[in-house]
Chains A and B, each alone.
Chain A
């Protein structure tokens, strides 16, 4: 999938999709018509910061500060954006 995520890109959760914390599963999920994606640890941490205002760069900086011990967190984050855009869970705002 070649979506070519830029640091300046700003995303929001796609139309008709809902992002929420599920207590029973102790994880974040994305809900859409008749479907659901369960987001494991890191993926949930990334997508909960997607609000239509923060850029990919902002999110990278925030997570680098929050998880200083994780090696090359930036490529994980960009990879997650790439996946989420490819699956149409996110829409580009800018």
Chain B
């Protein structure tokens, strides 16, 4: 039995894009410091796909076998056509998941989602205290989120809370779970921060200590023991503290396909950071070509691309060498073993990051929040590099 738990498949034999993630917009009213969105998202906020383009992408992906649909962003509710998109998704037979901060969810909209057949709403929460929740999102949204949680429950939706875990809330995990229980949650995802996009920029400020992590895991297990099957708690472990890498996205081009706001088709959330890659776009290429034949999807599918130490490693099928983006972002080499792996020649980069994040001088550096202004700076930074490149003889 192949099981997709929390979006992670354990065994799938055919390559089908079971999961379609629609990142419908990068606009967001929140400014979370741990957001995995690209730091240069500002350049992807224009030129968003139209409703008709989204609907045709849903239809094509469904034909390829996609069945779980995530509608995410940014904040998807900033678009006013999500009602139309979910209703079409329902007709096509998707199990649809709206992944939201809750900002913009009104009685009228949730009613329309229910009528249109939206299956589930995943709400992000950040802490039990208003201070930390408002701090890390750089907004005043704590009370609003609690009201939205009640609204989701009252409309008969399963209550799924996603809590990104970092240094500022990890010691509250036990209380966060109690809050979730009080809100009537059916599922809670405690997602330890993975370091991409904005969270990589803020890594030293977000990274917990191993002791904090151990305590959080113990608190989670104690809670599970008490509550049992009534509420499912997923604890997504942070790979920096492991000695083998994660099987990122369950393998490149194996089960996940992401369509971004401007129509780029990606095998993972952060693939656009990789150098020398051209990604298909739904405006130009069909999804079938993107999935089955495009150079971007075939490049790291399977194990042929590997070099040593992965190529001859007897564990290579377990993790497929880890994450290509993480390897590139930390070492500059997209084809090397993920630095998390203790067999990787780059493991020292992880160990140094762990030490660095505990250095009081580094950890007290200010957090850079995910704002349009900060993103514009990153986009400008790109322009500088490109200008320098062209200036070369």
Task: Give the residue of A18, A22, A25, A43 whose beta carbon is less than 8 angstroms from that of B1.
Answer: A43
Q: CA of A31 to CA of B117 in the docked complex: distance in angstroms?
A: 14
Q: Which of B54-81 contact A (CB under 8 A)?
A: 63-65, 67-68, 70
Contact A31–B95 (Cβ < 8 Å): yes
Contact B1–A29 (Cβ < 8 Å): no
Contact B68–A36 (Cβ < 8 Å): yes
Task: Give the residue of B64, B160, B229 whose beta carbon is less than 8 angstroms from that of A88.
Answer: B229
Question: Could you count the A-B residue pairs with CB atoms below 8 Å apart for me: how many are there?
Answer: 69
Task: Give the residue of A20, A25, A31 whose beta carbon is less than 8 angstroms from that of B16.
Answer: A25
A50 CB, min distance to chain B CBs, angstroms: 16
A20-B93, A25-B16, A39-B1 given; A34·B68 CB < 8 A: yes
B47 at the interface (CB under 8 A from A): no
Chain A: interface residue total (CB-CB under 8 A): 20
B2 at the interface (CB under 8 A from A): yes
- B-side contacts of A39, CB under 8 Å: 1
Task: Give the residue of B65, B70, B95 whose beta carbon is less than 8 angstroms from that of A25.
Answer: B65
Chain B: interface residue total (CB-CB under 8 A): 30
B386 CB, min distance to chain A CBs, angstroms: 38
The residue on B at minimum CB distance from A23 is B65
Q: CA of A82 to CA of B186 in the docked complex: distance in angstroms?
A: 21
B122 at the interface (CB under 8 A from A): yes
| 10 A-B pairs (CB sep. < 8 Å) | A16-B120, A16-B186, A24-B64, A31-B119, A34-B68, A34-B97, A34-B120, A34-B160, A36-B3, A37-B3
B4 at the interface (CB under 8 A from A): yes
B5 at the interface (CB under 8 A from A): yes
Task: Give the residue of B2, B14, B67, B187 whose beta carbon is less than 8 angstroms from that of A33.
Answer: B187
The residue on B at minimum CB distance from A88 is B229
0/1 interface trace, chain B 1-40, chain A, CB 8 Å (1 if under): 1111111000010101010000000000000000000000
- A-side contacts of B12, CB under 8 Å: 38
The residue on B at minimum CB distance from A16 is B158
A65 at the interface (CB under 8 A from B): no
